[in-house]
């Protein structure tokens, strides 16, 4: 993809904190990643049935530009991170629906 070829990202590891910060500037000025992710998010969000949505590993939180009710989470304290947590240990109580269980 075009945004992976930006020279300021060539020396940055994908999992590095700086990658998301650098990518934020690219995101603001490049329609290619914006269109790619918008199409992806539209496809995913079309299957949501009214339940709260949490983006795991949301990084820059770009999804909130299009879907402001999505809760962004990450291990790192990015400016847009609303919930800092490990995706294997989410800080929510389990809720069991009794519908269809019997």
Judge whether 89 lies within some domain. no
In a domain, 51, yes or no: yes
* Phi, psi at 24, each rounded to 5°: -60, -40
CA 63 to chain centre: 6
Number of domains in the chain: 1
pLDDT in tens, 65-75: 899 999 999 98
For 21, the domain range is 2-84
Residue 72 falls inside a structural domain: yes
Q: Is residue 97 part of a domain?
A: no
DSSP-based three-state secondary structure for 5: helix
Residue 91 within a domain: no
What pTM was estimated for this model as a whole? Answer: 0.68
What is the pLDDT at residue 80? 85
pLDDT in tens, 20-65: 776 677 777 888 888 988 999 999 999 988 888 999 988 888 899 8
Position 36 in a domain: yes
pLDDT at site 38: 92
Residue 100 lies in a domain: no
């Amino acid at each position: 993809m075009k945004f992976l070829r930006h020279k300021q990202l060539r020396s940055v590891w994908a999992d590095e904190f700086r990658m998301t910060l650098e990518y934020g500037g690219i995101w603001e000025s490049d329609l290619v990643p914006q269109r790619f992710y918008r199409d992806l998010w539209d496809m995913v969000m079309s299957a949501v049935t009214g339940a709260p949505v949490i983006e795991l590993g949301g990084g820059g939180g770009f999804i909130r530009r299009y879907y402001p009710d999505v809760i962004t989470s990450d291990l790192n304290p990015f400016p847009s991170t609303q919930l800092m947590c490990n995706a294997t240990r989410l800080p929510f109580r389990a809720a069991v629906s009794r519908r269809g269980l019997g």
